[in-house]
Amino acid sequence: MARPKKQTTKKRPAKEAAPPRARQKRAKKGEEEQKSPSEDEKTSPQTETYLEKCIQQRKVDSLVYNVHWPHTDPVELKKNFAFLDVVHSWAGEYADRPDPNLDDLTESQKQTLLKSLHGNCIQDWDWNTLMGHVPERISYMAATFFTEMIVLKDIFSKCVIHPFWYFDGKTGPEDAKKNDFFPAELNHLYEMFLSDDRDAASAWRADTIRLANIPREKTPAPVFGSYNKDRRDDLMSQFASDLLASEPLKWILRELPAEEEKGRHEGLLYCYREAAEAAVALFANQHQVGIDWINFEESNTFDSDSQTTKVVPDCHVLEPGDKKLDGKRILMAFTPNITISYNFDDDAPQQATVCSAHVVVDDNEPMDPEKKTVMDASIVKVKEEK
C-alpha cells in the first residue's frame, strides 16, 4: 500500500529590509507624528476638531459619504439659520404700514393676536399690560414685530421641528392618495426609538432624512430626493398662501395692489424654503437634536450668560457683558432653543447650540426722546396723507 505523500509547509520568504532612505523617511514620519501640536493646530476651529473626531471614532459612515452633506457640523448648522434674517427683512417690507403701532386694531383684535401666539408669548396679560412691560421702541414697530413672530411660529411648527413633515406615506407607486397622518406616525416611531437608544435613533433619523434627500452630487438623477424636494415646495406654497389669508396676519400687513401680491407670496415662500433646507441639514446630522421652546406656563427669567437664550436685538439694547436684564421675566420667544449633543469614546458628552431662543424680556425701557419725536411726526404725516 502506497504511503501518502508527506505534506510540506512552504517557508515564507524573509521580509526584505527597507532601503536606508525609506527607513529614514519612516523614522522622520514617526517623529513628526509624536511632535506636540503646533500653535495652528491648537487654535484650529471647532469644525476641524469635530470632523477629525468623527472620522477617528467612526461615528460617521465615511468621509466620502459626508462630503455630500457638508453642513452637518455644529458651526455650519448654525449658519443655516440665517433664514431668520430673511424673515425679518420680509416682515419689514410688507408690514410697513401707516399705523406701525397697530392703534387701528380693535381691543378684540389685539387680544386675538396675542392668543394666536400661544406657546410663543405669555397669556396671562392683556395687550395694554404686555405693551407696558416691553421696550417702548416695540410699540413703534409693532406691525413688523408681530408679523415676524407670526411667520416664524408657522415656519417652525410646520417645517423645522418635525423631521418627516413632507413624507407622503404612500403604500406603493400606484397609490394616488397620501396619508396625512404618516409624518406624525413616523415621528412617533422615532420618539419610541429615542426612548430606548438615543444614539441609534438619531443615526436612524439621519439616514432616513439623507436617503429621502440625496443630492445630485451623490446621484446624478436622485428620483426620490427630487420627488421630496418638489413635494416640499408644493406644501410650502400652500402654507404661504394659507398664512397670508389668515387672521390676524392679514389685519397687520399693509394693503397691496393685486400685481404686487405675487411678489409678496414668492418672498414668503422663499422664507419657508430656506427654513426647510436648514431643517434637512439639521436632521441629517447623526447626533441627537434637541428642540426646546420656552414654557410660558412657568415663569422663566433671562440669564445673559446662558447659551440657550438671547435677546431680540431690535428690541433690547444690550452690550456685551451687560447684565441689566438678568433675572427679568421672559415675555415672548421668536424661536426655540436648538442644540445637538454628541460624544466620542474618549470625551465627555458635549452640546452645541445651533439656534438660541430669541426672546423679549420684561423691560419697559423708554425710547430716546429725539427718535420718539421723529417717529411720532412721521406717523402723523403718513396718516394725514392717507
Residue 114: pLDDT over 50: yes
Average pLDDT, the chain: 81
The tens digit of pLDDT for each residue in 193-216 reads 999 999 899 999 999 999 998 876
Residue 125: pLDDT over 90: yes
Higher pLDDT, 22 or 131: 131
Q: What is the pTM of this model?
A: 0.78
What percentage of residues in the chain have a pLDDT greater than 90?
Answer: 54
* Cβ atoms 328, 301 nearer than 8 A: yes
Q: What is the mean pLDDT of residues 217-225?
A: 75
* Cβ atoms 163, 122 nearer than 8 A: no
SS (H, E, C) 57-124: CCCCCCHHHHHCCCCCCHHHHHHHCCHHHHHHHHHHHHCCCCCCCCCCCCHHHHHHHHHHCECCECCC
Instruction: Give dist(CA 267, CA 253) in Å, integer.
Output: 14
The tens digit of pLDDT for each residue in 165-192 reads 999 988 887 887 778 899 999 999 999 9
Instruction: Give dist(CA 65, CA 218) in Å, integer.
Output: 8
pLDDT at 188: 97
The tens digit of pLDDT for each residue in 143-167 reads 999 999 999 999 999 999 999 999 9
Domain ranges of the chain: 55-61+70-170+177-375+377-381
pLDDT at 16: 45
The crossing angle, in degrees rounded to 10, of helices 198-212 and 182-196 is 150
Instruction: Give dist(CA 316, CA 285) in Å, integer.
Output: 33
Picking from 149, 122, 83, the residue whose alpha carbon sits closest to that of residue 314 is 149
pLDDT at 58: 41
> Which amino acid, one-letter code, is at 128?
N
The tens digit of pLDDT for each residue in 340-352 reads 987 655 567 788 9
Instruction: Using DSSP bridges, classify how beta strands 337-342 and 350-355 pair: parallel, antiparallel or unpaired.
Output: antiparallel
